[in-house]
Amino acid sequence: MKHTIVDMIIADLETAVDFFVPVKKLWETLRDENTPNMPTLEEFTELVKNDGRLVVQQFKEAPWENDPEETEEMESLDYYSGPRVRLKSRVPSKEDIARIIQQNAQKIIDNLIKAYQTRPKNLPEEEEKQLIQAMIKAKKLKDDLEKALKDEKK
């Protein structure tokens, strides 16, 4: 059981777009595929931590991590908290890191736009202005990142 699940994790990580993948996201994917003898999230995390081919890193705690309702909502938007894992043999290059940063910046913009489009009709004007400001700041951040990356290539 353990070797099969770890082999599935490694296969997923070999083709993953991101180098560091949330452990919980991997676990949910395998669980949703009805993987036989699927361990609990805690057991799964231990399997990952104990495999020498993998590197596990704990990133800064997400602000929503202690609110189950907000955690569920953020995960539905593909924002996971908790440890992340990557293959030891797969180290990101500068170009990979630049691509990932640009993709994440665009994902933030897309989610802010989605939030604006689905905002409640009775959203207070001040909160709507804050949402618009967040979109503007996210776009400026993305533009600044792209400029910095172009300048780096020169």
pLDDT of res. 68 = 79
* Low-confidence winner among 46-55, 69-78, 103-112, 115-124 (lowest mean pLDDT): 69-78
pLDDT of res. 51 = 92
Q: Where are the alpha helices (DSSP H) in the chain?
A: 2-15, 23-32, 41-49, 68-76, 94-117, 125-153
pLDDT of res. 50 = 93
Token pair, residue 18, equals: 């991101």
**Residues 56-106: tens digit of each pLDDT:** 988 777 777 778 788 888 888 778 888 999 999 988 888 888 888 888 889
pTM to 2 decimals? 0.66
Query: What 3-state class would DSSP assign to 21?
Result: strand
Give CB contacts under 8 A, 24+ apart, made by 87-90.
Answer: 87/10, 87/13, 87/14, 87/19, 87/53, 87/54, 87/55, 88/52, 88/53, 88/54, 88/55, 89/53, 90/13, 90/14, 90/19
